[in-house]
Amino acid sequence: MHACRLAGQVAVITGAASGIGKATAAEFIRNGAKVIMADVQDDLGHSAAAELGPDAVYTRCDVADEAQVAAVVDLAVKRHGHLDILFNNAGISGAIPQDDMASMDLATFDRVIAVNARAVLHGIKHGARVMGPRRRGVILCTASAAGVIPVPNIPLYSISKATAVAIVRATAEPLARLGLRVNAVSPGGTRTPLMMRVISEMCPGITDEQLKLMEAADTTMDPEYIARAALYLASDDAKYVTGHNLVVDAGHSAYKGADVPPAR
């Protein structure tokens, strides 16, 4: 039986059609929330919302477009009367490889920053617009362990996620004046479609069997573990937590890749 830690609350989750976003939508709904699931993957999004039941609604949203983020926030308020949680979860890896600094594609960098960092500000701005007058609300952001310890193969992605964490820290105090909390969660290797696609692109020639072995390895985790971290940060259990980056990476950023098993 679930404790319904989010009973009566309304959440917007971007990038919610699959992976961490979908897992978090399910976790929030199990804990009593109503969720607006936003994404650009329409077929997956409609299917995910149908799977999660009447407390989930899908809508299309490209988070790089501020007007579309504003519209999702307005939809939540129109349907439910208020918004309590905004989870800036949508993200992209950008074109790979990214590690030739002499020929890096700055158009790729601009797109990655637009989705992974600037869009966080879109969510903060419009979340604060509707939450501020009520003087309550939580804004979350999916960053990455790659923003804590950069991954050499994907430096542009690592930069964007480090920037997202910086945004969370820099906006914590101004948002606190409005009675709002803002935090980040930084996943390590998580079994999502994005991660598996990145691995495929970083390792040309990898076989399907090798990919399955990597996906099943102890060094990667199911997205439900990130969803539970997001639930904690969204709930009153984290009432006194703001401006924080919660790293969920089995200790990789502490061990710095040392060849030791993760703590259990």
Going by pLDDT thresholds of 50, 70 and 90, the confidence category of residue 152 is: confident
With a threshold of 0.85, does the pTM exceed it? Answer: yes
Going by pLDDT thresholds of 50, 70 and 90, the confidence category of residue 96 is: confident
Joined together, the tokens standing for residue 175 give: 């948002």
Q: Is 240 a catalytic residue?
A: no
Q: Is 164 left (phi over 0), alpha (psi -120 to 50) or beta?
A: alpha
Cβ-based neighbour number of residue 13 at 10 Å: 31
Of residues 219 and 92, the one with the higher pLDDT is 92
Q: Is 144 a catalytic residue?
A: yes
Domains along the chain with CATH numbers: 10-189+221-247 (3.40.50.720)
> What pLDDT is recorded for position 1?
43
What does the alpha-carbon distance between residue 177 and residue 82 come to, in Å, rounded to a whole number?
Answer: 19
pLDDT at 2 over 60: no
Q: Quick check: 90 and 20 in contact, CB under 8 A?
A: no
Over residues 102-107, the mean pLDDT reads 92
Report the candidate in 4, 91, 83 with the shortest Cα–Cα distance to residue 39.
Answer: 91
Active site residue: 157, 158, 186, 235, which one?
157
Over residues 67-83, the mean pLDDT reads 98
Enter the DSSP assignment of 263. P
> What pLDDT is recorded for position 137?
98
Torsion 85-241-66-107 (CA) sign? negative
> What pLDDT is recorded for position 213?
60
Angle at 252 between CA 103 and CA 189, to 5 degrees: 65
Q: Is 157 a catalytic residue?
A: yes
> What pLDDT is recorded for position 214?
57
pLDDT > 90 in the chain, percent? 76
- pLDDT tens, 184-232? 999 988 776 666 666 566 666 666 665 566 555 566 789 999 999 999 9
At which residue do the structure tokens 């003087």 appear? 135
Active site residue: 144, 160, 186, 235, which one?
144
Active site residue: 18, 93, 158, 161, which one?
161
